[in-house]
Amino acid sequence: MGLKTTKIVQGYLAMSKNSIVRVRTVEEFGYLTIKTNRAPTEDVVENDEFEYMVPLRDAKAMLASCVSTLEKTRHYYEYRGNLWEIDVFEKLNSGLIKIEIEIPNRAHEFEVPDFVGVEVTGIDAYSNYMLSINPYGQWMGDPK
């Protein structure tokens, strides 16, 4: 059952080996996010993420000065007790659909819906940042 759909425009203000700073508009809201890399552990499957709501006008101004941007429509889908995010990319990333699930730890069990295709977790080319600087529509074969 589909829960809701949102339009997302996001851009990247800064990136280093250890962190990335992103600005995003989601419908009528703006967000500034800082993601930091940390060594994965057996129980933790995500990096630190700090997200702050900012006025939409400010977010749009920041997007205008971003190094790179991308646009997508996100569909939220509940399947067997888990929330999946289905991102349908637009413009230069048109044709790409990424599906992901947020899980609390590596031991969390879940059933993968039949419509999920190739696993791309850990393939840098499929990260949103990389898609913003090397769009899917410009790939000439396998990005690995």
CATH number at residue 49: 2.40.320.10
In the structure, what pLDDT confidence band is assigned to residue 143 with cuts at 50, 70 and 90?
Answer: low
Domain that holds residue 64: 2-138
Among residues 120, 126, 108, the alpha carbon closest in space to that of 44 is found at 108
If one counts the domains in the chain, the total is 1
144 inside domain: no
39 inside domain: yes
117 inside domain: yes
Residue identified by tokens 């809201």 is 29
Give tens-digit pLDDT for 77-93. 999 999 999 999 999 99
131 inside domain: yes
Please give the pLDDT value at position 1.
52
Please give the model's pTM, rounded to 2 decimal places. Answer: 0.86
143 inside domain: no
96 inside domain: yes
Joined together, the tokens standing for residue 100 give 């992901």
Positive or negative torsion for Cα 108, 113, 116, 117 = positive
